[in-house]
């Protein structure tokens, strides 16, 4: 026991005059007992049948070292002393922290004043402290945390972190993450402005200075330079030594008509759409979409009345198809069908992809009249134009007859359950025993799993009383329509599953 009693730990304990009076007696009375406990543990684990792999603690690592032949670093006596040293380190750390905190307050009048002020402010003079008050003592907590940080751990002479400090750091990190969400709002508006000003399309011609770009975009050079600086900071451009800006590979996705462009998706979902999010509380309280309160008419009525907005909407849907649905014709075998009808088929982009993989099939695009005109124009440029047909109408009222495959992609999510059920029943009327309905939509993950669909779900609710759905919700809707889900095929995109439905 001399190793412990004459060690630095005992020396420190002895220095705590009065406050830890009796520490020496305490240690002498308990050393023999603790030594017996340590020896018993060693004996239990030191037998021939002891399997070192069964444990992963400090004692086992000591025993492994002792088992080595001619170990110069550790033996049983040193191990017992270390065992006791670590035990008393815990005792010292707690009492030492309190002593250090009291000594700091006693020796510094400014500390005393600030501690008293915080106590008076939170507790006052007429009540006792409760456990509920602990989290309110920010200054006192910081003082104790700092004292703990400067104390040794098991005589190593090192400063160290502590639980309180880690908790503060974790909360700071969480707060910073929440601020990041706010800044993401700003970043998306930077992308929206870049798309509106055609910044990426101009920089694709050649690298330019802010002055050159200002002339082309009819903007002011100084704020445009600051905008471009932020554009660089989020990774969409780079600046050279001559202050010319050039696109990065990520920035090129903001160009028109390039593979995987998201320019029109941004123009559709950002900008004016932020006014939708400002009405989120209203939507939650009323349970209704907010577009009428913003625009005076439902969303689809608005875009019908605004040709420019309708064109951007169609282009955004095309980008969604190109970015997230290209692999669907490779995953699912469309060669089994003779007539494929794309319900709410937009400009026919998706149908053209499918017909290229199903050379013996014909296809029909079915959508509202203004959109059908765009589909005719788009498909006239493709290699499948001679196998394409067009029909205009509203799927809430009816769908064309004669298809052995009906497809609905990205059209159900902006409608409520009642409307979706109407469409499913309209399709069922046209289905025969061998007919298949393919619903290409997002399927929400189970609760408590990260899922971007939960955010698009809110956007669709605000826009059109639409919603994203779970697998169970899809099951319920199809069953109500007299249909059943036969199979579900995932894709590499989180936005698209292939739900195969039959009679």
* pLDDT surpasses 60 at 51: no
* pLDDT surpasses 70 at 60: no
Structure-block tokens of residue 224? 């445009």
Distance of alpha carbon 95 from alpha carbon 110, whole angstroms: 24
* pLDDT surpasses 70 at 28: no
Calculate mean pLDDT across residues 54-62.
57
Nearest C-alpha neighbor of 364 from the set 336, 332, 330, 337: 337
CB 366 within 8 A of CB 340: no
Distance of alpha carbon 376 from alpha carbon 94, whole angstroms: 79
Calculate mean pLDDT across residues 269-296.
90
Instruction: Write down the pTM of the prediction.
Output: 0.66
Calculate mean pLDDT across residues 199-219.
97
Distance of alpha carbon 358 from alpha carbon 336, whole angstroms: 8
Give every strand in the sheet of 405-409, ordered side by side. Answer: 388-392, 362-367, 339-343, 405-409, 436-441, 497-502, 484-490
More confident residue, 138 or 324: 324
Q: Mean pLDDT check: name the lowest of 166-175, 247-256, 281-290, 362-371.
A: 166-175
Residue-range domains of the chain with CATH: 2-164 (no CATH), 183-258 (1.10.10.10), 324-502 (3.40.50.150)
pLDDT of residue 156: 41
Q: Mean pLDDT check: name the lowest of 25-29, 335-339, 426-430, 434-438.
A: 25-29
Strands 436-441 and 405-409: parallel
pLDDT in tens, 115-157: 888 888 877 766 777 666 776 777 877 777 776 666 554 444 4
pLDDT of residue 95: 61
Average pLDDT taken over every residue of the chain: 82
* pLDDT surpasses 50 at 86: yes
Q: What secondary structure letter does DSSP report for 208?
A: B
* pLDDT surpasses 70 at 72: no
Structure-block tokens of residue 326? 């290209």
Band of pLDDT at residue 450, cut at 50, 70 and 90: confident
pLDDT in tens, 389-439: 999 999 999 999 999 999 999 999 999 999 999 999 999 999 999 999 999
Distance of alpha carbon 387 from alpha carbon 341, whole angstroms: 12
Distance of alpha carbon 184 from alpha carbon 68, whole angstroms: 57
CA dihedral 225, 229, 234, 239 (to 10 degrees): 100
Calculate mean pLDDT across residues 348-373.
95
CA 422, 426, 428, 429 torsion: positive or negative?
Answer: positive
* pLDDT surpasses 90 at 215: yes
Enumerate the β-bridge partners of residue 246: 238
Q: Mean pLDDT check: name the lowest of 60-64, 141-145, 298-302, 411-415.
A: 60-64
pLDDT of residue 106: 75
pLDDT of residue 65: 62
Nearest C-alpha neighbor of 273 from the set 18, 464, 82, 111: 464
């Amino acid at each position: 026991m001399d190793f412990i009693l004459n060690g630095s730990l005992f020396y420190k304990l002895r220095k705590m005059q009065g406050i830890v009076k009796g520490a020496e007696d305490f240690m002498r009375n308990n050393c023999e007992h603790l030594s017996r406990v340590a020896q018993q543990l060693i004996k239990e684990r030191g037998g021939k049948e002891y399997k070192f792999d069964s444990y992963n603690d400090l004692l086992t690592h000591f025993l492994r070292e002792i088992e080595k032949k001619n170990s110069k670093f550790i033996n049983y006596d040193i191990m017992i002393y270390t065992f006791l040293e670590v035990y008393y380190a815990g005792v010292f750390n707690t009492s030492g922290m309190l002593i250090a905190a009291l000594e700091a307050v006693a020796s510094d009048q400014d500390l005393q004043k600030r501690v008293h002020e915080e106590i008076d402010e939170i507790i006052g003079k007429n009540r006792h402290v409760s456990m509920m008050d602990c989290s309110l003592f920010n200054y006192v907590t910081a003082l104790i945390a700092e004292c703990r940080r400067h104390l040794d751990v098991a005589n190593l002479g090192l400063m160290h972190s502590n639980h309180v400090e880690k908790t503060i750091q974790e909360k700071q990190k969480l707060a910073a993450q929440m601020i990041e969400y706010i800044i993401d709002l700003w970043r998306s508006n930077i992308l929206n402005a870049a798309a509106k000003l055609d910044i990426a399309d101009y920089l694709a011609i050649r690298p330019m200075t802010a002055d050159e770009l200002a002339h082309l975009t009819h903007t002011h050079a100084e704020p445009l330079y600051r905008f471009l600086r932020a554009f660089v900071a989020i990774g969409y451009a780079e600046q050279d030594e001559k202050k010319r800006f050039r696109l990065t590979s990520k920035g090129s996705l903001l160009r028109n008509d390039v593979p995987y462009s998201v320019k029109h998706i941004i123009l559709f979902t950002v900008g004016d759409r932020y006014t939708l999010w400002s009405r989120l509380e209203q939507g939650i309280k009323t349970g209704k979409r907010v577009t009428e309160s913003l625009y005076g008419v439902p969303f689809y009525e608005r875009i019908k009345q605004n040709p420019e907005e309708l064109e951007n909407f169609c282009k955004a849907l095309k980008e969604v198809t190109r970015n997230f649905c290209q692999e669907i014709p490779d995953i699912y075998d469309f060669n089994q069908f003779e007539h494929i009808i794309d319900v709410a088929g937009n400009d026919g982009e998706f149908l053209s992809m499918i017909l290229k993989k199903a050379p013996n099939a014909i296809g029909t695009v079915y959508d509202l009249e203004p959109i059908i005109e765009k589909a005719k124009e788009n498909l006239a440029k493709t290699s499948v134009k001679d196998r394409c047909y067009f029909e205009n109408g509203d799927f809430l009222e009816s769908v064309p007859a004669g298809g052995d495959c009906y497809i609905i992609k990205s059209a159900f999510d902006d409608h409520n359950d009642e409307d979706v059920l109407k469409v499913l029943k309209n399709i069922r009327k046209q289905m025969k025993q061998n007919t298949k309905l393919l619903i290409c939509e997002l399927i929400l993950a189970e609760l408590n799993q990260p899922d971007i669909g939960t955010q698009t779900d809110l956007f669709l609710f605000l826009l059109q009383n639409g919603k994203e759905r779970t697998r169970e919700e899809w099951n319920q809707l199809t069953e109500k329509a007299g249909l059943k889900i036969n199979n579900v095929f995932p894709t590499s995109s989180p936005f698209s599953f292939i739900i195969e439905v039959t009679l």
